[in-house]
Amino acid sequence: MKIFGVCAGISPRWLVAGLIAVSIVTPALNVQAVERLRVITSTPDFAAIATEVGGDRVDVLSLAKGTQNPHFVDARPSFIVELNKADMLIEGGLELEIGWLPPLLLSARNPNLQPNAPGRVVAALNVPILEVPTFRVDRSMGDVHPAGNPHFTLDPDNGKIVAETIADALIRIHPQDAAVFQANLERFKNTLDAKIQQWVAQMEPFRGAKVVSYHKSYNYFIERFGLELASTVEPKPGVPPSPAYVETLTALMKAQGVRVVMLEPYYVRALPDVISRETGAQILVLPTMPGGIPEVQTYADVFQYNINALTNALRAGQ
């Protein structure tokens, strides 16, 4: 046990001196030769939009991957390092990231990202939010969002609003590039507008078609493109269905002629498969974010892919 005796005397004075030394060395090491703004986003949808608006003036990184459920992201310590170095953080808001982002931000000790700091961007800021409870909610209703449905980027019009919010924030912290950000924003909006027209026309023949989704992830999409959500596979947000509920659901789907089950890429397929066999409805794995499936990489890809998949399935079902 001699070996332990050697290191037995950790001197407090030595510790204090060491701590002071490292904190002096820090600013020297922390060279901020920033040419591009470091933008961190909670999820890849905001990253895709920020990349379009920021162009070559920003480096964008999304903490969550497109295949991940944005409610359940592992708060890996490497995220602390990323957040520590960031000039800007874009989060969804509406408690989407409440289960993992707050402790990371506390550990990141970055003044740029404090609430109300210019670098802290809440994407939901100007978005008209669906399903804001007008009554008192509690957890007997499942994992409800007291502030409304946070999956708002699945309406491309909201994507434009988010892009405006991001452009405002970029201009706020980097006014010298205001013209670039403004031009990028206009280009993004115009390109998207042209596509929206095309998407709306593509979806028009299926107006009022009834669909079922696993979680209430696609509600903004459904609303925007004139579909109707008949029910969800989850009886309540975050609550897995019981066999009795599945029976009710399949009966409802048969009665209402539901042809499509919209499934988020991160949900287990086993139960939707059972429902599909029972009702004949087709299961469509539809990405909610860029990167959700390999072939979907940009914000517009999400809609193009989903609309192609949906129109094909609905046409086949007619």
Partner 1 sequence: MRSIARVLVLAVLCLPSVAAFADATSDQFRNELEALKKQMQEMQRTIKEQQKTISNQQNTIDKLEKTAAKPVELPPAQKEELRKELTQELAREERKTVTPSPVPARGRGFGGMEPFARGIQSLNPDISIDGLFAAAASTEDDFERLFTGAHDPVQRGFTLQNLELTLGGAVDPYFRGDVHLVYQIDRRGKSTLEVEEAYLTTLSLPSNLQLKAGQFFTQFGRLNPTHPHTWDFSDQPLVNGRMFGGDGLRNPGMQFSYLLPLPFYMEAMTTVQDSQGETAFSFRNAPGEELFGRPLQERKVRGLDDLLWVPRLRTSFNLSDTQTLLLGASGATGPNASGLHTRTNIYGLDLYWRWKPLDNFNGWPFVSFQTEGMFRDYQAGRALDETSGDLLLPRRTLNDWGMYSQILWGFSPRWVAGMRFDYVEGNGDARNDPNRDRRLRYSPNITFYPSEFSKWRLQYNFDDQPDRGRHDHTITLQYEFLIGTHGAHTF
Q: Which of residues 252-291 bind partner 1 (CB under 8 A)?
A: 265-268
Minimum distance of partner 1 from residue 160's CB (angstroms)? 8
Q: Cβ closer to partner 1: 26 or 255? A: 26
Shortest distance, position 273 Cβ to partner 1, whole Å:
14
Restricting to residues 117-136, name those near partner 1 by CB under 8 A: 117-118, 122, 124-129, 132-134
Which residues within the stretch 173-232 sit at the binding site for partner 1 (CB under 8 A)? 193, 196-197, 200-201, 204
Does residue 147 touch partner 1 according to CB under 8 A?
Answer: yes
Contact 41, 88 (CB under 8 A): no
CB of 118 to partner 1, least distance (A): 6
Tell me the number of residues near partner 1 by CB under 8 A.
87
Integer Cα distance of 198 and 158 in angstroms: 17
CB of 256 to partner 1, least distance (A): 24
Q: Shortest Cβ distance from residue 277 to partner 1 (Å)?
A: 20
Return the residues of window 51-110 that contact partner 1 according to CB under 8 A.
Answer: 65, 67-69, 71-72, 74-78, 80-81, 84, 93-95, 98-103, 106-110
Alpha carbon distance 101, 197 (integer Å): 36
- Nearest CA to 157 among 121, 196, 118? 196
Identified binder of partner 1 from the candidate list 34, 141, 146, 308, rule CB under 8 A: 146
Rounded CA-CA distance 38/245 in Å is: 47
Identity of the residue, 18 or 280, whose beta carbon is nearer to partner 1 in the bound complex? 18
Pairing of strands 120-122, 37-41: unpaired
21 lines the binding site for partner 1 (CB under 8 A): no
Amino acid letter, residue 280: G
CB of 254 to partner 1, least distance (A): 26
Name the segment binding partner 1 (CB under 8 A); options: 45-53, 139-147, 245-253, 309-317: 139-147
Interface pick for partner 1 out of 34, 141, 178, 239 (rule CB under 8 A):
239
Minimal distance, residue 174 CB to partner 1, in Å: 14
CB of 245 to partner 1, least distance (A): 15
3-state secondary structure of 304: helix
String of b and e for 286-307 (b: at least 16 CB within 10 Å)? bbbbbbbbeebbebbbbbbbbb
Q: In terms of residues, how long is the chain? A: 318
- Cα 297 to Cα 301: distance, rounded to the nearest angstrom: 6
**Among 28, 46, 47, 53, which residue's Cα sits nearest to residue 173?**
53
Give dist(CA 153, CA 65) in Å, integer.
15
The reply on whether position 251 binds partner 1 by CB under 8 A is: no
Helix (H, G, I), strand (E, B) or coil at 164: helix
Q: Is 68 helix (H, G, I), strand (E, B) or coil?
A: coil
Question: CA 80 to CA 261: how far, in whole Å?
Answer: 37
